[in-house]
Amino acid sequence: MNRDDKVQAISEFTEGIGKATNAFLIEFKGITVPQVTELRKQVRESGSEYVVVKNTLAMIAVKDSPLVELRSKFTGPTAVAYNRTDAVALAKALTRFAKDVPAVTFKGAMLNGQIVPAGEIQKIANLPSRDELISKLLYVLQSPIRGLATVLAANIRNLAVVIDQIAKQKNEGQAS
């Protein structure tokens, strides 16, 4: 790799990995080409990117990002899966793939600027997605309002039933 290629690679890494809010460092020793293709596909489906990095160039690219705290993990064959949106979706995709392909192991991760040890990644993958959390929150917020509306509607309904009964009694009294 000549100097211009290195500068280009560092620039690409800085724009991608260096600015990512969520990144997972992966060791992929012993993985086949079809497996890598499937991994890339699953990562892409989660709205994320996957790149195999040259460790020395990656360290230069991430020197100004929180990912620099994982510098000790940039050893051996290293790939980085990253995104700027949903860490849980990416963690789910990676752990699902790692379960099927044991050659893929986690070295560590950064989620929203916080460093996460490799052992905690499975717990993150078990979390509900952002959309699920938002829908649960909306349900919880909506529940008291729905209850109030039901109670208020019941009073109006009961009043209507009472008025209807009074009208029926008056009609029976006039018919006699």
What pLDDT score was predicted for residue 175? 65
pLDDT single digits (tens) 18-53: 777 888 888 888 888 899 899 889 889 888 888 888
Residue 35 identity (one-letter amino acid): Q
Q: How far apart are CA 103 and CA 84, in angstroms?
A: 26
Q: Order of strands across the sheet with 22-27?
A: 49-53, 78-83, 22-27, 105-111, 114-116
Listed residue (18, 7, 8) closest to 70, CA to CA? 18
**How many whole angstroms from its chain centre is CA 114?**
15
pLDDT band at 104 (very low <50, low <70, confident <90, very high): confident
Model-wide pTM > 0.75: no
| Helices (runs of H) and strands (runs of E) counted in the chain | 6, 5
pLDDT single digits (tens) 83-97: 888 888 888 888 888
Query: If residue 120 lies in a helix (H) or strand (E), which one and from where to where?
Result: none
Higher pLDDT, 176 or 147: 147
CB burial class (10 A; 0-12, 13-18, 19+) of residue 168? Answer: exposed
Q: How far apart are CA 161 and CA 69, in angstroms?
A: 70
CB burial class (10 A; 0-12, 13-18, 19+) of residue 163? Answer: exposed
DSSP conformation class of 85: S
